[in-house]
Structure 1
Amino acid sequence: MEPLLKIENVSFRYRENAKWALEDISFQLQKGEWLAIVGHNGSGKSTLAKMLNALHFPTEGQITANGTILSEDTVWEIRDQVGMVFQHPDNQFVGTTVEDDVAFGLENHGVPHEEMKTRVREALLDVGMSDFLTQEPHHLSGGQKQRVAIASVLALRPNLIILDEATSMLDPKGRKEVVKTVHEMKEREDLTVISITHDLEEAAKADRIVMLNKGRIFFEGTPQELFQKHGDMLKELGLDLPFPVRLASELNKRGLTTSSGMSEEELVDEIWNLHLSK
């Protein structure tokens, strides 16, 4: 199957003769996949996010989205295919109500009124916010605001949704809300998602991880492979391992052999099964 997104030998620097912000980056993304791009501050994540939304163009290499090569001539075509959810949801709000806000992008795209009403309601239903149509966005909690921001992107029906540090400003409850919402939508709607994050709890929900370090790809594989092979290095870089992974590691040190569970539920089930087998 042809990849939805191809990053081929991409390098980028902000000015001539400057240090490379990204250097020789290559990876692909298939339709329906959730890819997490992780790394510490300064690893190149933000630069890559701007490039994926056509705010930067590669200094070297090529980006192809759904068969279209990113260039100055195709920038708007690419942006129509890619929906971006940013770190600060308040910066994305323009409407006086939740309904108005989700409709704003559709109006700009010339979507007919009746279809627009249908898309707004479907998108808000998808993120569990259909009871908040007439609410003012600034009265919502952080997690609710971010879910409305996701609905605004969903209503446009892009081929790819990018979460650019979309949970980093939320409290733990709001973060869990948003990650759970995205996970459920991906399974239900076969969405294609890229989450750019330093939160490994969020990245653990992805199908695959690309880890950046000093502008290069340090690792590409499943979350479990990353945590098992490079857990010590992640801690050195200031990236906190997910709680179930840390707990599994401590239990293994104490002689209770478990796998590196990706969720608390998986780890509890495994410990329970070990107990029953004794």
Structure 2
Amino acid sequence: MGDSIISIERVSFQYPDQSDFALKDVSLHVQRGEWLAIVGHNGSGKSTLAKMLNGLHYPQAGHVTIGGLELCEENVWTIRVKLGMVFQNPDNQFVGTTVQDDVAFGLENSGVEQTVMKERVLTSLEKVGMASFLNQEPHHLSGGQKQRVAIASVIALQPDIILLDEATSMLDPLGRDEVMETIRELKEREGLTVISITHDLEEAAKADRVIVLNKGSVYTEGTPQAIFQMDQELLQLGLGVPFTVKMSHLLAEAGLQLSKRHFNEEELVKELWTLNFEK
């Protein structure tokens, strides 16, 4: 999948008021152009890791390198240009009175020239399917629409990496699907690197690779297919299992011979339809 765009080497971090490490001897690499999902229960260290990648925390041991730059106070603002972050609650990201004002805000702070700014605002909104909402007030939008505008605000800054920090957890299923499809299209069209930090394995199923954190350490990693084979272990770690994986398992227990354990609803329905047609 190409060269490494993020390198985390033996990183540890401990909050002053806690006896346990939030991150303990964590090492991982993110390849340029891949979609990596980092999953874990509450307290697994994933939120601390998200803050560290955005320069809100610095490692107390080990090294973090992003886009060839080591994470430190000297480089943090340059790193934040390379890595755009979409947060859990889109309302917390809105600062403008209209959609276009909001997307323009980060560009203004970066000193982008006015004509270039207008072009980038429109282009980024077109990329997420929100160009027709240019003059709309953000609070009139649905949750999924708000999050797509938040994504437009990030991609207008032209980062190499998009970090989704529980970015779909407050959305209904339709809004979640809208946002995930938007991210997938952007990744394929723009060649972006995507990191999704989540506890939702339905979201992780969209990724190329999944890393599971537990008690501040890397528990395991692999493709979604490989990770979802560990369904009992995942449940013991406090993680849910995607509906289609549960359904595939139940169907297999009932004697229906599926070709594999599906984690995509479309694939499962297609195979069930084929089996029914063959009968």
How far off its partner does 1:75 sit?
1.1
How far off its partner does 1:233 sit?
2.1
Which aligned pairs between 1:44-123 and structure 2 lie closer than 5 A? 44-123=45-124
1:225-252 residue CA offsets vs partner (Å, 9 max, x unmatched): 0111x20122233322111111111111
1:245 to 2:252 alignment? no
Unaligned runs of 5+ in 1: none
Indicate the SS of the match to 1:4.
Answer: strand
CA distance in 1, matches of 2:240, 2:26: 24
How far off its partner does 1:182 sit?
0.8
How far off its partner does 1:3 sit?
0.6
1:220 aligned residue: 221
How far off its partner does 1:107 sit?
0.7
Indicate the SS of the match to 1:269.
Answer: helix
CA distance in 2, matches of 1:167, 1:9: 29
**AA in 2 matched with 1:116:** M
**AA in 2 matched with 1:234:** L
1:137 aligned residue: 138
1:5-60 residue CA offsets vs partner (Å, 9 max, x unmatched): 11111111113983211111111111110000000000001100000001000011
> Greater CA deviation, 173-182 or 147-156?
173-182
Indicate the SS of the match to 1:116.
Answer: helix
CA distance in 2, matches of 1:103, 1:17: 40
How far off its partner does 1:210 sit?
0.5
How far off its partner does 1:197 sit?
0.4
CA distance in 2, matches of 1:267, 1:189: 30
CA distance in 1, matches of 2:67, 2:222: 22
Indicate the SS of the match to 1:185.
Answer: helix
Deviating 4+ runs (over 4 angstroms):
none
TM-score where L is the length of structure 1: 0.96
How far off its partner does 1:276 sit?
4.3
CA distance in 1, matches of 2:87, 2:18: 30
2:43 aligned residue: 42
1:24 to 2:18 alignment? no
CA distance in 2, matches of 1:198, 1:44: 11
CA distance in 1, matches of 2:118, 2:18: 51
Which aligned pairs between 1:176-255 and structure 2 lie closer than 5 A? 176-228=177-229, 230-255=230-255
1:262 aligned residue: 263
**AA in 2 matched with 1:255:** G
**AA in 1 matched with 2:90:** P
| Percent identity of equivalent pairs | 62
**AA in 1 matched with 2:110:** H
> Greater CA deviation, 113-122 or 49-58?
113-122
CA distance in 1, matches of 2:248, 2:3: 38
CA distance in 2, matches of 1:209, 1:260: 17
How far off its partner does 1:2 sit?
3.1
How far off its partner does 1:277 sit?
4.7
CA distance in 2, matches of 1:213, 1:142: 30
Are the aligned partners of 2:165 and 2:197 in contact in 1 as well (CA < 8 Å)?
A: yes
How far off its partner does 1:80 sit?
1.3
> Greater CA deviation, 235-244 or 262-271?
235-244
CA distance in 2, matches of 1:122, 1:80: 18
Indicate the SS of the match to 1:26.
Answer: strand
How far off its partner does 1:268 sit?
1.4
How far off its partner does 1:267 sit?
0.9
What is the RMSD computed on CA atoms of the aligned residues?
1.4
CA distance in 2, matches of 1:132, 1:237: 42
CA distance in 1, matches of 2:73, 2:201: 34
Indicate the SS of the match to 1:15.
Answer: coil
Indicate the SS of the match to 1:196.
Answer: strand
> Greater CA deviation, 115-124 or 10-19?
10-19
Are the aligned partners of 2:214 and 2:237 in contact in 1 as well (CA < 8 Å)?
A: no
